[in-house]
Structure 1
Amino acid sequence: MNLNFSVGPSLQHRLALGLLLSVSLIIFDHKFNGFGTTRVYLNSLVSPLQYLANLPGELLSASATQLASHQQLLDENAQLTLQATLMSEELQRMTFLKEENNRLRRLLNSPTNVNIRKLVAELMAVDNNPYSHQIVVNKGTINGVFEGQPVLDESGVVGQIMQVSSTNSRVLLIADITHAIPVRVARNNVRLVATGSGSLDELHIQHVPHSADLQVGDLLLSSGLGKVFPEGYPVAEITSIVRDESRPFAVVRAKPIAQLDRLKYLLLLWTDEQELPEPEEIEQ
């Protein structure tokens, strides 16, 4: 067995020698800064390795920041979307309330006689019979409502009460074929009778002589005859006049002033001779 390669200092001696050299080099470097230049080169050499070692951490940190920013933006966007939705709902509600307020103001400021008392009613139902134009309102005998009572909206005459129960009433619209109302022309006081045609946007003017002084656009007001509708309320506007000498009377059509197809709030009227019962003397 060849032992030439095994001859040398023992491990203990090598360790002691290494420690001695290390301590000597540390003392030498500390006292005389003998390895300053070498340390600079070594740091420069190791610097790329340090950057490479830190790169995964930097990438993870940047990714986490980006994800956090993206999630924050998503949260803020969701919050803003919710706020916009709530504001939109409030805006729609405010618009509806504004329209309702304007409608009530117009209704209460309708051109009624100062001595006529009035009661605001609200539409409850519309008759689904295609051959009849009737509606139901939420006022009845407990409110003093009576048969034949005139009914208006904010624009003009709507109809009259035809049936009354304790808490609601049925209104016959002026467009119903069974309804007739005496009117006069606002321009010259010519007296006529307007009857329902069965269509919500048209009335017939009955028994008009060919020589009658009528014009398209003439406003028809309630004449007060018959003591059902007080005088002076807008009823309709003449839309067409056909004077055919082969017929005994002219064919006259008019459009109701009241918006019969979009009723919401209505006005019930009492004349001077009628008293509104207590306790609801005037309800608005």
Structure 2
Amino acid sequence: MNLLFGRTVSLQLRLSVAVVLSIVLIVGDRYTSGGTFVRTSLNTLVSPLLYLANMPYEAFNIGMKSLHTRERLQQENQVLKEKQLLQSEQLQQYQFLLKENQELRALLGASAKQVNNRLITQVLSVHSNPYSHQVVVNRGTIDGVEEGQTVIDEMGIVGQLTQVGTTTSRVLLMTDTTHATPVRILRNNVRTVVEGTGKINTVRLVHVPHSLDIRIGDVLVTSGLGGTFPEGYPVAIVTEIDRNEGLPFAQVFAEPVAQLDRIRLLVILGKQAGEALNNE
């Protein structure tokens, strides 16, 4: 077998060639559209493998469901009926509040907020390490999704779409070290920013003054600033506050409300509807 480099080539020369090639690839990816095309093509090529790798789980899941006893199903049915009853009561209150909100907006001459378009998606694989928290979902450009769209679960914000392929896309989780979410404290509407820490159950608030009115247990929701996340979705709950005067800012940590370590079904919010909420 012929080697790319002969045995007479020094290690320094090999390293120099590798560094030069790396720099060329980085510059080409940064200033040309070729890198995006290559990533999209690779995502498209890998998509069948992701579906194939997900088949054993689906087969196992179907087998487990078939083992449920009638008594278990009856108990689940009873729980669902009770939950439906409670949600029906909440829905009645929602209809009343919606009507009241419309009347107030009519008095103020404001337009009603548009309702988000929603698309349910399923997690195919999880890519998680201290440097990157991402999952792959079974939606892509053929479903009309785009990079930057907000992703939630039944509890709150999960993250946003990135690297959208033809049939699959990657979701950057809010706990990733490169992710930031504009939020406000629900109790007093004070705005701040939440950043990922690389830990699946912890995020931190950045540049928090020692005098900021924030307490353990405060609920953080999306503020709508920046135009990425629509306003009002739950993000995290404050769990730890360290007001060490020796530091320029208070150290504040929170726990995401979304169950990021067990997500399976997610909802992708329409990008245009989300922007409409923020432009109002």
Q: TM-score range, shorter-chain basis?
A: 0.5 to 0.7
CA shift, 1:129, in A, is: 3.6
TM-score (norm 1): 0.58
In the aligned structure 1, how far is the partner of 2:180 from the partner of 2:159?
Answer: 9
Instruction: Tell me, yes or no, if the aligned pair for 2:126 and 2:136 is still in contact at 8 Å.
Output: yes
Gap runs ≥5 in structure 1: 1-85, 276-284
Which contiguous aligned blocks of 4+ residues in structure 1 show a shift greater than 6 angstroms?
93-102
CA shift, 1:88, in A, is: 5.2
Deviations 1:89-115 (A, max 9, x none): 55567888999998xxx9xx9x9x761
Deviations 1:196-218 (A, max 9, x none): 01011100100000000001000
* CA RMSD in angstroms, aligned pairs only: 3.0
Query: Structure 1 residues 88, 248: CA separation in 2 closer, same or farther (over 3 Å shift)?
Result: closer
Query: Structure 1 residues 129, 97: CA separation in 2 closer, same or farther (over 3 Å shift)?
Result: farther
Query: Structure 1 residues 273, 157: CA separation in 2 closer, same or farther (over 3 Å shift)?
Result: closer
Matched, 1:239 2:243: no
Q: Aligned AA for 2:240?
A: S
Instruction: Tell me, yes or no, if the aligned pair for 1:177 and 1:195 is still in contact at 8 Å.
Output: yes
Instruction: Tell me, yes or no, if the aligned pair for 2:141 and 2:166 is still in contact at 8 Å.
Output: yes
CA shift, 1:132, in A, is: 1.1
* Structure 1 match to 2:5: none
Percentage of identical aligned residues: 48
Map 1:147-158 → 2, pairs under 5 A: 147-158=147-158
Map 1:169-188 → 2, pairs under 5 A: 169-188=169-188
* Structure 2 match to 1:138: 138
In the aligned structure 2, how far is the partner of 1:167 from the partner of 1:180?
Answer: 26
Gap runs ≥5 in structure 2: 1-65, 95-112, 276-280
Larger Rg, first or second structure (1 or 2)? 1
TM-score (norm 2): 0.59
Instruction: Tell me, yes or no, if the aligned pair for 1:115 and 1:272 is still in contact at 8 Å.
Output: no
Q: Aligned AA for 2:175?
A: A
SS in 2 for 1:210: coil
* Structure 2 match to 1:199: 199
In the aligned structure 1, how far is the partner of 2:158 from the partner of 2:199?
Answer: 13
Query: Structure 1 residues 88, 175: CA separation in 2 closer, same or farther (over 3 Å shift)?
Result: closer
SS in 2 for 1:258: coil
In the aligned structure 2, how far is the partner of 1:100 from the partner of 1:162?
Answer: 35
Aligned length: 184
Map 1:50-69 → 2, pairs under 5 A: none
SS in 2 for 1:142: helix
